[in-house]
Chain A
């Protein structure tokens, strides 16, 4: 059994966080998603603080994510960690990494297209189908399988697919 360590560097902490997955979209790490806002030492102590922000206010994944972070650090032998939530500035899909967007597409979810809030123009949006890349797609419902997604369908390959809303 690994002995408990007290010290961890900030860089090591980020690499631990890379291994924590979003429970709804297991191909994405919480770093890819952009919900880790900061990693720092709490008041100069050895205790590491991870600051996360929710994608949506009611996102039920937040509690699971907090627990997964704690478990992942414990697996690596670090027990002195604190997880705090920060709401402001509110999370936006702009914080999703390019690598994250690529992983989403490979997983079958169309990544966010724009940089601004979709709520104004979701219906006029051209979202390429993650299966066949066709732009001949249409919006089925602006609310999808989770709070952060909308439902589209491809008119070429006929596959329905999730689109990660810009937010």
Chain B
């Protein structure tokens, strides 16, 4: 009984990681063809591709674990990504929020990449070998995402009055969604905060100490934005079940 509980928890954790990467990756992919400069358009597209690739690895692993739990279960990575509805998604609210302007997208990427960096480092000690392999692989990519987004937070924050002002609004807007990132793993909060403070200091921002923190993503209680995202992302499989090309 205990073993089956552990497996269930394991599946939920892997699905949570998969959902985070997929939804964040999908959001960033919305910038494809719309970036402010070609190089930055390519950068975001590359990051989106890394995240969607990570999501695939997690979904494949989750499908394997689901089959271990019940050998009649033959769900695939595609079923998990394309055929679940919003309440079944367990991603953080932060990743489903609309991109808004460039600064807001950068800040969201920065908060999320820093969380991924420290969380995946902690996964390296997992007993699940496949999870360790995915984390190890992803960390190499995430190191680039953290660096690229940090540089942009600093460039915009310490830039012109207008870029600073837009970034400041993004900080106010997104900060209340950061509490959820470390709510279940308080030991990561300090590392995450230190990295954010280090970059914020250079970018001339301060952290919002007393903000109200939204939560619910991990319980499947989402903002209204997720449904619209899924409607677009899942359209093809919903309209033409089993379609391939």
User: Which A residues have a C-beta under 8 Å from some C-beta of B?
Assistant: 54, 56-60, 86-91, 117, 119-120, 140-145, 147, 151, 167
Contact = CB atoms under 8 A, between A and B. Distances in A.
Interface stretch (B69-77, B134-142, B159-167, B195-203): B134-142
A45 B213 CA distance: 58
Interface of B: 39-40, 42-43, 45-47, 49-54, 56-57, 129-130, 132-134, 136-138, 140-141, 143-144, 147-148
Contact of A143 (B39, B52, B138): B39
Contact of A117 (B52, B56, B129, B143): B143
B42 A119 contact: no
- Count chain A CB atoms within 10 A of each CB in B43, B49, B132, B134 and give the residue with the most: B49
B149 to A, nearest CB: 12
Contacts, number: 77
- Count chain A CB atoms within 10 A of each CB in B57, B130, B132 and give the residue with the most: B57
A143 B42 CA distance: 6
B144 A142 contact: yes
Contact of B39 (A54, A88, A140, A147): A140
A56 B50 contact: yes
Nearest to B47: A143
A142 B144 CA distance: 8
Contacts of A57: 50, 53-54, 56-57, 134, 137-138, 141
Contacts of A59: 53
Given A57-B137, A57-B138, A119-B147, A144 B42 contact: yes
A57 B42 CA distance: 17
A117 B140 contact: yes
25 contacts: A56-B49, A56-B53, A56-B141, A57-B50, A57-B134, A58-B50, A58-B52, A60-B49, A87-B134, A88-B129, A88-B132, A89-B136, A90-B137, A90-B140, A91-B137, A119-B143, A140-B39, A141-B40, A142-B148, A143-B39, A143-B43, A143-B46, A144-B46, A145-B42, A147-B49
Nearest to B52: A58
B116 to A, nearest CB: 12
A23 B56 CA distance: 21
Contacts of B144: 119, 142-143
A60 B48 CA distance: 12
Nearest to A87: B133
Contacts of B47: 143
B134 A58 contact: no
B181 to A, nearest CB: 21
Contacts of A151: 39, 42
A56 B141 CA distance: 8
Contact of B133 (A56, A88, A141): A88
Contact of A147 (B46, B130, B136, B143): B46
B33 to A, nearest CB: 15
Contacts of A87: 57, 130, 133-134, 136-137
A167 B47 CA distance: 15
Contacts of A143: 39, 42-43, 45-47, 144, 148
A141 B140 contact: no
A142 B138 contact: no
Contact of A90 (B49, B50, B56, B136): B136
